[in-house]
Amino acid sequence: MSGIASILFKKGYKVQGTDLQESIYTKQLMKLGVKVYFGHRKDNIKDAKTMVYSGAVSSDNEEFLFAKQNGLKIFSRGEMLANLMEESIGISVCGSHGKTTTSSLISFLFFRAGLDPTFVVGGNIRNLDTNVCLGSSKLFIAEADESDGSFLMLSPLFEVITNIEEEHMDYYKNLGNLKNAFLKHICNIRKDGFLIAGRDNKIIKNILTTHKKDINAQIITYGLGSPCSIYASNIHTDNGKTYFDVTFKGKNLGNIQIFLLGIHNVQNSLACIAVGLLNGIKWEKIAEILPDFKGVNRRFEIKGKYDGALVIDDYAHHPTEIKTCLKMADELKPTRKIAVFQPHRYTRTKYLAKGFAEALKEVDIPILVPIYGASEKPIKGVSSRLICEHLKNLGVSALHFEEREEVVNYLKKIIKPDDIVLTIGAGDVYKIGEELIRKECG
Protein backbone atom coordinates (compact mmCIF):
# COMPACT_ATOMS: atom_id res chain seq x y z
CA MET A 1 0.00 0.00 0.00
CA SER A 2 2.80 2.45 0.84
CA GLY A 3 4.49 1.66 -2.47
CA ILE A 4 1.31 2.33 -4.45
CA ALA A 5 0.77 5.58 -2.53
CA SER A 6 4.34 6.66 -3.31
CA ILE A 7 4.05 5.92 -7.04
CA LEU A 8 0.72 7.76 -7.35
CA PHE A 9 2.16 10.74 -5.48
CA LYS A 10 5.22 10.83 -7.76
CA LYS A 11 2.91 10.65 -10.78
CA GLY A 12 1.34 13.92 -9.61
CA TYR A 13 -1.76 12.80 -7.72
CA LYS A 14 -2.69 14.33 -4.38
CA VAL A 15 -2.38 11.41 -1.97
CA GLN A 16 -3.22 10.89 1.68
CA GLY A 17 -3.72 7.78 3.74
CA THR A 18 -4.57 6.20 7.07
CA ASP A 19 -2.79 3.58 9.17
CA LEU A 20 -3.25 2.28 12.68
CA GLN A 21 0.23 3.21 13.86
CA GLU A 22 3.48 4.82 12.74
CA SER A 23 5.98 2.66 10.85
CA ILE A 24 9.02 3.00 8.64
CA TYR A 25 6.65 3.17 5.67
CA THR A 26 4.45 5.95 7.05
CA LYS A 27 7.59 7.91 7.92
CA GLN A 28 8.87 7.55 4.35
CA LEU A 29 5.54 8.72 2.94
CA MET A 30 5.39 11.73 5.24
CA LYS A 31 8.95 12.65 4.31
CA LEU A 32 7.84 12.51 0.68
CA GLY A 33 5.00 14.92 1.40
CA VAL A 34 2.05 12.54 1.77
CA LYS A 35 -0.45 13.35 4.53
CA VAL A 36 -0.83 10.35 6.87
CA TYR A 37 -3.53 9.99 9.53
CA PHE A 38 -3.33 7.52 12.39
CA GLY A 39 -6.62 5.89 13.36
CA HIS A 40 -9.51 5.34 10.96
CA ARG A 41 -12.14 8.11 10.97
CA LYS A 42 -14.50 9.20 8.22
CA ASP A 43 -13.32 12.81 8.55
CA ASN A 44 -9.96 11.65 7.17
CA ILE A 45 -11.46 11.19 3.70
CA LYS A 46 -14.15 13.88 3.55
CA ASP A 47 -12.34 15.64 0.65
CA ALA A 48 -11.22 12.47 -1.18
CA LYS A 49 -12.48 11.39 -4.62
CA THR A 50 -10.94 7.91 -4.76
CA MET A 51 -10.12 5.23 -2.18
CA VAL A 52 -7.60 2.41 -2.47
CA TYR A 53 -7.87 -0.18 0.31
CA SER A 54 -5.86 -3.19 1.42
CA GLY A 55 -7.05 -6.67 2.33
CA ALA A 56 -6.45 -5.77 5.98
CA VAL A 57 -9.40 -3.33 5.89
CA SER A 58 -12.67 -4.86 7.10
CA SER A 59 -16.03 -4.18 5.42
CA ASP A 60 -17.30 -2.30 8.50
CA ASN A 61 -14.31 0.08 8.53
CA GLU A 62 -15.56 3.64 9.14
CA GLU A 63 -13.67 5.14 6.21
CA PHE A 64 -14.62 2.30 3.85
CA LEU A 65 -18.32 2.67 4.70
CA PHE A 66 -18.16 6.45 4.21
CA ALA A 67 -16.52 5.97 0.80
CA LYS A 68 -19.29 3.59 -0.32
CA GLN A 69 -22.09 5.79 0.98
CA ASN A 70 -20.69 8.92 -0.66
CA GLY A 71 -19.94 7.57 -4.11
CA LEU A 72 -16.14 7.57 -4.05
CA LYS A 73 -14.36 5.50 -6.68
CA ILE A 74 -13.11 2.46 -4.76
CA PHE A 75 -10.19 0.26 -5.81
CA SER A 76 -8.69 -2.71 -4.01
CA ARG A 77 -4.91 -2.82 -3.72
CA GLY A 78 -4.79 -5.46 -6.45
CA GLU A 79 -6.97 -3.42 -8.83
CA MET A 80 -4.80 -0.34 -8.48
CA LEU A 81 -1.60 -2.37 -8.88
CA ALA A 82 -3.05 -3.94 -12.05
CA ASN A 83 -3.90 -0.47 -13.40
CA LEU A 84 -0.37 0.77 -12.75
CA MET A 85 1.17 -2.31 -14.39
CA GLU A 86 -1.19 -2.47 -17.37
CA GLU A 87 0.95 -0.66 -19.96
CA SER A 88 4.25 -2.02 -18.63
CA ILE A 89 6.50 -5.03 -19.03
CA GLY A 90 5.17 -6.65 -15.89
CA ILE A 91 7.31 -8.85 -13.67
CA SER A 92 5.33 -10.14 -10.69
CA VAL A 93 6.30 -12.46 -7.86
CA CYS A 94 3.86 -14.54 -5.84
CA GLY A 95 3.97 -17.61 -3.62
CA SER A 96 3.33 -18.71 -0.06
CA HIS A 97 6.86 -17.86 1.11
CA GLY A 98 9.81 -15.87 -0.16
CA LYS A 99 8.04 -13.43 -2.47
CA THR A 100 9.27 -10.27 -0.70
CA THR A 101 12.93 -11.33 -0.80
CA THR A 102 12.64 -12.60 -4.40
CA SER A 103 10.90 -9.47 -5.70
CA SER A 104 13.45 -7.34 -3.82
CA LEU A 105 16.36 -9.29 -5.33
CA ILE A 106 14.95 -8.76 -8.84
CA SER A 107 14.30 -5.05 -8.17
CA PHE A 108 17.82 -4.57 -6.80
CA LEU A 109 19.41 -6.42 -9.73
CA PHE A 110 17.48 -4.45 -12.37
CA PHE A 111 18.10 -1.15 -10.55
CA ARG A 112 21.85 -1.73 -10.22
CA ALA A 113 22.07 -3.01 -13.81
CA GLY A 114 20.83 0.40 -14.98
CA LEU A 115 17.48 -0.76 -16.38
CA ASP A 116 15.64 1.95 -14.39
CA PRO A 117 12.61 -0.17 -13.37
CA THR A 118 9.53 0.79 -11.41
CA PHE A 119 9.15 -1.55 -8.46
CA VAL A 120 6.76 -2.07 -5.56
CA VAL A 121 7.73 -4.70 -2.99
CA GLY A 122 6.55 -5.64 0.49
CA GLY A 123 9.69 -4.81 2.45
CA ASN A 124 12.37 -2.16 2.70
CA ILE A 125 15.40 -3.09 0.54
CA ARG A 126 18.28 -2.31 2.88
CA ASN A 127 20.73 -1.17 0.19
CA LEU A 128 18.23 1.27 -1.30
CA ASP A 129 16.38 2.14 1.95
CA THR A 130 13.04 1.95 0.15
CA ASN A 131 10.40 -0.51 -1.02
CA VAL A 132 9.36 1.49 -4.09
CA CYS A 133 10.82 3.28 -7.09
CA LEU A 134 9.21 5.06 -10.05
CA GLY A 135 11.52 4.40 -12.99
CA SER A 136 11.48 5.73 -16.54
CA SER A 137 11.55 2.36 -18.34
CA LYS A 138 8.57 0.12 -19.10
CA LEU A 139 9.75 -2.50 -16.60
CA PHE A 140 7.41 -2.85 -13.61
CA ILE A 141 8.35 -5.30 -10.82
CA ALA A 142 5.67 -6.06 -8.24
CA GLU A 143 5.11 -8.37 -5.32
CA ALA A 144 1.70 -9.94 -5.96
CA ASP A 145 -0.67 -10.89 -3.14
CA GLU A 146 -2.45 -14.22 -3.24
CA SER A 147 -3.89 -13.91 0.27
CA ASP A 148 -7.18 -12.42 -0.96
CA GLY A 149 -7.08 -13.54 -4.60
CA SER A 150 -6.08 -10.09 -5.82
CA PHE A 151 -3.12 -11.47 -7.78
CA LEU A 152 -5.68 -12.72 -10.31
CA MET A 153 -6.08 -9.11 -11.48
CA LEU A 154 -2.50 -9.01 -12.79
CA SER A 155 -1.40 -10.03 -16.29
CA PRO A 156 2.40 -9.94 -16.20
CA LEU A 157 4.84 -10.89 -18.95
CA PHE A 158 7.07 -12.62 -16.40
CA GLU A 159 5.55 -14.45 -13.44
CA VAL A 160 7.61 -15.97 -10.62
CA ILE A 161 5.91 -18.48 -8.32
CA THR A 162 8.21 -19.34 -5.44
CA ASN A 163 6.17 -22.10 -3.78
CA ILE A 164 2.61 -23.01 -2.82
CA GLU A 165 1.58 -24.23 0.61
CA GLU A 166 -1.66 -24.55 2.56
CA GLU A 167 -1.99 -20.92 3.63
CA HIS A 168 -4.77 -18.26 3.77
CA MET A 169 -7.36 -20.97 4.36
CA ASP A 170 -9.69 -18.38 5.88
CA TYR A 171 -10.08 -17.12 2.29
CA TYR A 172 -9.59 -20.26 0.15
CA LYS A 173 -11.23 -22.81 2.50
CA ASN A 174 -9.31 -25.75 0.99
CA LEU A 175 -6.14 -26.61 -0.90
CA GLY A 176 -8.04 -27.30 -4.14
CA ASN A 177 -9.31 -23.73 -4.31
CA LEU A 178 -5.82 -22.40 -3.60
CA LYS A 179 -4.26 -24.49 -6.39
CA ASN A 180 -6.97 -23.42 -8.84
CA ALA A 181 -6.30 -19.76 -8.04
CA PHE A 182 -2.59 -20.17 -8.82
CA LEU A 183 -3.44 -22.00 -12.06
CA LYS A 184 -5.74 -19.14 -13.10
CA HIS A 185 -2.96 -16.69 -12.31
CA ILE A 186 -0.57 -18.70 -14.49
CA CYS A 187 -3.12 -18.56 -17.32
CA ASN A 188 -3.17 -14.74 -16.99
CA ILE A 189 0.46 -14.48 -18.15
CA ARG A 190 0.58 -12.47 -21.36
CA LYS A 191 1.19 -13.99 -24.78
CA ASP A 192 4.83 -15.00 -25.27
CA GLY A 193 5.36 -14.59 -21.54
CA PHE A 194 7.35 -16.67 -19.07
CA LEU A 195 6.48 -18.65 -15.96
CA ILE A 196 9.47 -18.97 -13.62
CA ALA A 197 8.47 -21.66 -11.12
CA GLY A 198 10.09 -23.26 -8.08
CA ARG A 199 10.10 -26.93 -9.06
CA ASP A 200 11.35 -28.12 -5.65
CA ASN A 201 7.86 -27.40 -4.32
CA LYS A 202 5.58 -30.46 -4.58
CA ILE A 203 2.40 -28.52 -5.38
CA ILE A 204 4.05 -26.49 -8.14
CA LYS A 205 5.57 -29.67 -9.58
CA ASN A 206 2.10 -31.26 -9.56
CA ILE A 207 0.52 -28.26 -11.32
CA LEU A 208 3.23 -28.21 -13.99
CA THR A 209 2.80 -31.94 -14.61
CA THR A 210 -1.01 -32.15 -14.44
CA HIS A 211 -1.86 -28.92 -16.26
CA LYS A 212 1.02 -28.56 -18.72
CA LYS A 213 -1.37 -28.43 -21.68
CA ASP A 214 -3.27 -25.53 -20.07
CA ILE A 215 -0.15 -23.38 -19.65
CA ASN A 216 0.66 -21.20 -22.66
CA ALA A 217 3.62 -19.43 -21.10
CA GLN A 218 7.18 -20.64 -21.61
CA ILE A 219 8.09 -22.55 -18.46
CA ILE A 220 11.43 -21.97 -16.71
CA THR A 221 11.85 -24.09 -13.59
CA TYR A 222 14.40 -23.44 -10.87
CA GLY A 223 15.64 -25.51 -7.94
CA LEU A 224 18.47 -27.48 -6.40
CA GLY A 225 19.24 -29.85 -9.24
CA SER A 226 18.44 -31.26 -12.66
CA PRO A 227 15.95 -31.41 -14.45
CA CYS A 228 15.32 -27.75 -13.53
CA SER A 229 15.99 -25.19 -16.27
CA ILE A 230 18.24 -23.34 -13.83
CA TYR A 231 19.71 -25.00 -10.75
CA ALA A 232 22.30 -24.61 -8.01
CA SER A 233 25.03 -27.05 -7.04
CA ASN A 234 28.10 -27.14 -4.77
CA ILE A 235 26.28 -25.05 -2.15
CA HIS A 236 28.23 -24.06 0.96
CA THR A 237 28.26 -21.29 3.54
CA ASP A 238 31.15 -19.42 5.11
CA ASN A 239 31.21 -16.38 7.39
CA GLY A 240 27.59 -15.46 6.80
CA LYS A 241 27.77 -15.85 3.01
CA THR A 242 26.42 -18.59 0.74
CA TYR A 243 28.29 -19.80 -2.34
CA PHE A 244 26.93 -21.94 -5.18
CA ASP A 245 27.39 -22.82 -8.85
CA VAL A 246 24.66 -21.97 -11.35
CA THR A 247 23.67 -24.05 -14.37
CA PHE A 248 21.19 -22.58 -16.89
CA LYS A 249 19.76 -24.66 -19.74
CA GLY A 250 22.57 -27.19 -19.42
CA LYS A 251 25.40 -24.64 -19.34
CA ASN A 252 27.46 -24.06 -16.20
CA LEU A 253 27.58 -20.28 -15.78
CA GLY A 254 29.95 -20.24 -12.85
CA ASN A 255 30.00 -19.55 -9.11
CA ILE A 256 28.15 -16.79 -7.26
CA GLN A 257 28.01 -15.62 -3.65
CA ILE A 258 25.13 -14.02 -1.79
CA PHE A 259 25.16 -12.27 1.55
CA LEU A 260 22.20 -14.38 2.69
CA LEU A 261 21.88 -17.64 4.60
CA GLY A 262 19.59 -20.58 3.92
CA ILE A 263 18.76 -22.92 1.04
CA HIS A 264 15.55 -20.97 0.47
CA ASN A 265 17.62 -17.88 -0.37
CA VAL A 266 19.61 -19.91 -2.89
CA GLN A 267 16.25 -20.74 -4.50
CA ASN A 268 15.09 -17.11 -4.30
CA SER A 269 18.34 -16.03 -5.97
CA LEU A 270 17.91 -18.59 -8.76
CA ALA A 271 14.50 -17.11 -9.58
CA CYS A 272 16.08 -13.66 -9.70
CA ILE A 273 18.96 -14.86 -11.89
CA ALA A 274 16.51 -16.50 -14.32
CA VAL A 275 14.45 -13.30 -14.66
CA GLY A 276 17.64 -11.29 -15.17
CA LEU A 277 18.96 -13.60 -17.88
CA LEU A 278 15.58 -13.63 -19.67
CA ASN A 279 15.70 -9.82 -19.73
CA GLY A 280 19.16 -9.63 -21.25
CA ILE A 281 21.31 -9.04 -18.17
CA LYS A 282 24.61 -10.85 -18.67
CA TRP A 283 25.69 -13.51 -16.17
CA GLU A 284 28.89 -11.61 -15.40
CA LYS A 285 26.85 -8.54 -14.42
CA ILE A 286 24.50 -10.62 -12.26
CA ALA A 287 27.43 -12.29 -10.48
CA GLU A 288 28.89 -8.83 -9.82
CA ILE A 289 25.66 -7.24 -8.48
CA LEU A 290 23.95 -9.88 -6.33
CA PRO A 291 26.73 -10.21 -3.72
CA ASP A 292 26.02 -6.58 -2.78
CA PHE A 293 22.40 -7.29 -1.87
CA LYS A 294 22.04 -6.83 1.91
CA GLY A 295 18.54 -8.21 2.29
CA VAL A 296 15.18 -6.82 3.33
CA ASN A 297 14.07 -5.35 6.64
CA ARG A 298 12.46 -7.90 8.96
CA ARG A 299 13.81 -10.87 6.97
CA PHE A 300 16.37 -12.45 9.34
CA GLU A 301 17.52 -8.94 10.16
CA ILE A 302 20.34 -8.67 12.70
CA LYS A 303 19.23 -5.81 14.94
CA GLY A 304 22.22 -5.75 17.30
CA LYS A 305 23.49 -7.38 20.48
CA TYR A 306 22.51 -7.60 24.13
CA ASP A 307 25.11 -8.84 26.60
CA GLY A 308 26.95 -10.69 23.83
CA ALA A 309 23.82 -12.32 22.37
CA LEU A 310 22.69 -11.61 18.80
CA VAL A 311 19.19 -10.11 18.49
CA ILE A 312 17.56 -11.03 15.18
CA ASP A 313 14.12 -10.14 13.85
CA ASP A 314 12.13 -12.09 11.26
CA TYR A 315 8.70 -11.59 9.68
CA ALA A 316 7.93 -15.35 9.73
CA HIS A 317 4.24 -15.96 10.45
CA HIS A 318 3.73 -19.51 9.13
CA PRO A 319 5.19 -22.76 10.55
CA THR A 320 7.30 -23.35 7.44
CA GLU A 321 8.75 -19.84 7.66
CA ILE A 322 9.56 -20.29 11.35
CA LYS A 323 11.38 -23.57 10.64
CA THR A 324 13.37 -21.83 7.90
CA CYS A 325 14.24 -18.96 10.23
CA LEU A 326 15.46 -21.38 12.91
CA LYS A 327 17.60 -23.26 10.37
CA MET A 328 19.33 -19.99 9.46
CA ALA A 329 19.91 -19.33 13.15
CA ASP A 330 21.51 -22.78 13.48
CA GLU A 331 24.02 -21.85 10.77
CA LEU A 332 25.36 -19.20 13.18
CA LYS A 333 26.01 -21.95 15.78
CA PRO A 334 24.47 -20.32 18.87
CA THR A 335 24.68 -21.83 22.34
CA ARG A 336 20.89 -21.46 22.71
CA LYS A 337 18.01 -20.21 20.58
CA ILE A 338 15.49 -18.01 22.41
CA ALA A 339 12.41 -17.20 20.31
CA VAL A 340 9.68 -14.66 21.07
CA PHE A 341 6.78 -15.48 18.76
CA GLN A 342 3.75 -13.29 18.10
CA PRO A 343 1.05 -15.10 16.07
CA HIS A 344 -0.53 -13.11 13.23
CA ARG A 345 -4.34 -13.22 12.92
CA TYR A 346 -6.79 -15.27 14.96
CA THR A 347 -7.88 -17.39 11.99
CA ARG A 348 -4.30 -18.42 11.17
CA THR A 349 -3.66 -19.28 14.82
CA LYS A 350 -6.84 -21.37 14.90
CA TYR A 351 -5.83 -23.34 11.78
CA LEU A 352 -2.11 -23.66 12.49
CA ALA A 353 -1.63 -23.71 16.29
CA LYS A 354 -0.33 -27.29 16.24
CA GLY A 355 1.99 -26.49 13.31
CA PHE A 356 3.40 -23.50 15.15
CA ALA A 357 4.14 -25.74 18.14
CA GLU A 358 5.89 -28.29 15.90
CA ALA A 359 8.09 -25.50 14.52
CA LEU A 360 8.88 -23.94 17.91
CA LYS A 361 9.71 -27.21 19.68
CA GLU A 362 13.30 -26.88 18.37
CA VAL A 363 13.76 -23.65 20.34
CA ASP A 364 15.57 -23.81 23.68
CA ILE A 365 13.34 -21.15 25.27
CA PRO A 366 10.06 -20.48 23.39
CA ILE A 367 8.13 -17.38 24.49
CA LEU A 368 4.62 -16.52 23.30
CA VAL A 369 2.99 -13.10 23.32
CA PRO A 370 -0.61 -12.12 22.43
CA ILE A 371 -1.88 -12.44 18.87
CA TYR A 372 -1.49 -9.52 16.48
CA GLY A 373 -5.00 -9.51 15.06
CA ALA A 374 -4.52 -6.96 12.23
CA SER A 375 -8.09 -6.26 11.08
CA GLU A 376 -9.55 -9.44 12.59
CA LYS A 377 -11.80 -9.56 15.60
CA PRO A 378 -10.92 -12.05 18.36
CA ILE A 379 -12.24 -15.60 18.09
CA LYS A 380 -13.51 -17.16 21.29
CA GLY A 381 -11.05 -19.70 22.66
CA VAL A 382 -8.27 -18.70 20.24
CA SER A 383 -5.15 -17.14 21.74
CA SER A 384 -1.41 -17.69 21.68
CA ARG A 385 -1.88 -19.91 24.74
CA LEU A 386 -3.19 -22.56 22.32
CA ILE A 387 0.35 -22.89 20.98
CA CYS A 388 1.68 -23.19 24.54
CA GLU A 389 -0.74 -26.07 25.14
CA HIS A 390 0.41 -27.88 22.00
CA LEU A 391 4.05 -27.36 23.01
CA LYS A 392 3.26 -28.84 26.41
CA ASN A 393 1.81 -31.92 24.68
CA LEU A 394 5.12 -32.22 22.82
CA GLY A 395 7.01 -32.13 26.12
CA VAL A 396 8.20 -28.55 25.70
CA SER A 397 7.68 -25.90 28.35
CA ALA A 398 6.79 -22.51 26.85
CA LEU A 399 6.40 -19.14 28.52
CA HIS A 400 3.58 -16.69 27.91
CA PHE A 401 3.67 -12.96 28.64
CA GLU A 402 0.90 -10.42 28.13
CA GLU A 403 3.04 -7.26 28.16
CA ARG A 404 6.10 -6.30 26.13
CA GLU A 405 7.93 -4.96 29.19
CA GLU A 406 7.53 -8.32 30.94
CA VAL A 407 9.28 -10.06 28.05
CA VAL A 408 12.13 -7.54 27.98
CA ASN A 409 12.70 -7.84 31.73
CA TYR A 410 12.70 -11.64 31.54
CA LEU A 411 15.16 -11.68 28.63
CA LYS A 412 17.52 -9.37 30.49
CA LYS A 413 17.69 -11.90 33.33
CA ILE A 414 18.30 -15.05 31.29
CA ILE A 415 20.33 -14.03 28.21
CA LYS A 416 23.87 -15.41 28.00
CA PRO A 417 26.69 -14.58 25.59
CA ASP A 418 26.51 -16.60 22.35
CA ASP A 419 22.72 -16.96 22.61
CA ILE A 420 20.54 -15.89 19.70
CA VAL A 421 17.34 -14.02 20.56
CA LEU A 422 14.77 -14.16 17.75
CA THR A 423 11.68 -11.95 17.58
CA ILE A 424 9.34 -13.68 15.13
CA GLY A 425 6.03 -12.57 13.63
CA ALA A 426 4.32 -10.18 11.21
CA GLY A 427 3.12 -7.79 13.90
CA ASP A 428 5.04 -5.43 16.20
CA VAL A 429 7.04 -8.11 18.04
CA TYR A 430 10.23 -6.55 16.64
CA LYS A 431 9.83 -3.75 19.19
CA ILE A 432 10.82 -6.19 21.94
CA GLY A 433 14.25 -6.70 20.37
CA GLU A 434 14.66 -2.99 19.73
CA GLU A 435 13.79 -2.18 23.33
CA LEU A 436 16.25 -4.78 24.58
CA ILE A 437 19.03 -3.26 22.49
CA ARG A 438 18.17 0.25 23.66
CA LYS A 439 18.52 -0.89 27.26
CA GLU A 440 21.93 -2.36 26.44
CA CYS A 441 23.00 0.98 24.90
CA GLY A 442 21.56 2.86 27.88
Residue 134: which CATH number?
3.40.1190.10
Tell me if 358 is assigned to some domain. yes
pLDDT at 430: 95
Catalytic-labelled residue, pool 26, 99, 320, 349 = 99
Active site residue 100: yes
Do 276 and 382 lie in one domain? The reply is no
Residue 199 belongs to domain spanning? 86-292
pLDDT at 441: 60
**Domain's final residue, options 28, 44, 76:** 76
Do 222 and 318 lie in one domain? The reply is no
Do 72 and 94 lie in one domain? The reply is no
Nearest Cα to Cα of residue 275 among 96, 91, 145, 116: 91
Do 407 and 333 lie in one domain? The reply is yes
Do 180 and 260 lie in one domain? The reply is yes
pLDDT at 68: 93
- In the predicted model, residues of the chain with pLDDT beneath 50 are none
Contacts 24+ apart (CB under 8 A), 372-377: 372/342, 372/343, 372/344, 372/345, 372/425, 372/426, 372/427, 372/428, 372/429, 373/345, 373/346, 374/56, 374/344, 374/345, 374/427, 375/56, 375/57, 375/58, 375/61, 376/345, 376/346, 376/347, 377/346
Catalytic-labelled residue, pool 63, 143, 159, 167 = 143
Do 185 and 208 lie in one domain? The reply is yes
Question: CA-based angle 286:292:295, to the nearest 5?
Answer: 110
**The CATH number of the domain where 57 resides is what?**
3.40.50.720
Active site residue 301: no
Tell me if 350 is assigned to some domain. yes
Tell me if 423 is assigned to some domain. yes
The count of structural domains within the chain is: 3
Do 282 and 421 lie in one domain? The reply is no
Do 306 and 340 lie in one domain? The reply is yes
Tell me if 313 is assigned to some domain. yes
pLDDT at 185: 95
Do 316 and 280 lie in one domain? The reply is no
pLDDT at 150: 86
**The CATH number of the domain where 364 resides is what?**
3.90.190.20
Do 36 and 141 lie in one domain? The reply is no
Q: What is the pTM of this model?
A: 0.87
Dihedral (CA of 126, 131, 136, 141) sign: positive
Tell me if 81 is assigned to some domain. no
**Domain's final residue, options 225, 259, 292:** 292
Q: What burial class does residue 174 get, using C-beta atoms within 10 Å of its C-beta: 0-12 exposed, 13-18 middle, 19+ buried?
A: exposed
**Domain's final residue, options 23, 44, 76:** 76
How far is the C-alpha of 205 from the C-alpha of 163, rounded, in Å? 10
Do 128 and 260 lie in one domain? The reply is yes
Tell me if 404 is assigned to some domain. yes
Catalytic-labelled residue, pool 18, 26, 100, 162 = 100
Do 186 and 254 lie in one domain? The reply is yes
Active site residue 143: yes
